[in-house]
Amino acid sequence: MTLVIKQTQDLARCHALRREVFIEEQGVSEAEELDDKDASALHYLAISGDIAIGTARVLIAGNTAKIGRVCVRASNRGQGVGAQIMQVVLQDMAARGDLTNARLGAQLTAITFYERLGFVAQGPVFLDAGIKHRDMVCPLE
């Protein structure tokens, strides 16, 4: 599989993936998933051929990159797509030079995935859209 991961302005494709994964699969409400933060966020899209298979968004706050909405289409999971998306995002954020760390709220089922990428869980479990999460942080180098 040839995979291209890049920053994009194509919110329609990002939203379609997020709708499929978060709204349809996980039962997150549309109002919670498609929020007003998209307009000020950086968006990443993973494309195989001409098919969008994964996405992520980044909000910049001070010296922190807040990564969220990371998802991969069900038929493409288990192939390392999510890790590749995260690696590109982390490299891009580190290359900016003005950010010192990346943060995210990880679903409990994804904690190990993010730990393999250098994130460390912090704080208590909390509910986001009815799903258990923990905050995680990773230094940017």
Q: Count of domains in the chain? A: 1
Domain containing 113 — which CATH number? 3.40.630.30
Angstrom distance (rounded) from CA 108 to CA 87: 20
Residues in CB range of 94: below 8 A, 6 or more apart: 140, 141
pLDDT digits (tens, 9 = 90+) for 16-49: 999 999 999 999 999 889 999 999 999 999 999 9
The domain of 99 spans 3-139
pLDDT digits (tens, 9 = 90+) for 58-88: 999 999 999 999 999 999 999 999 999 999 9
Taking the whole predicted model, whether its pTM rises above 0.85 is answered as: yes
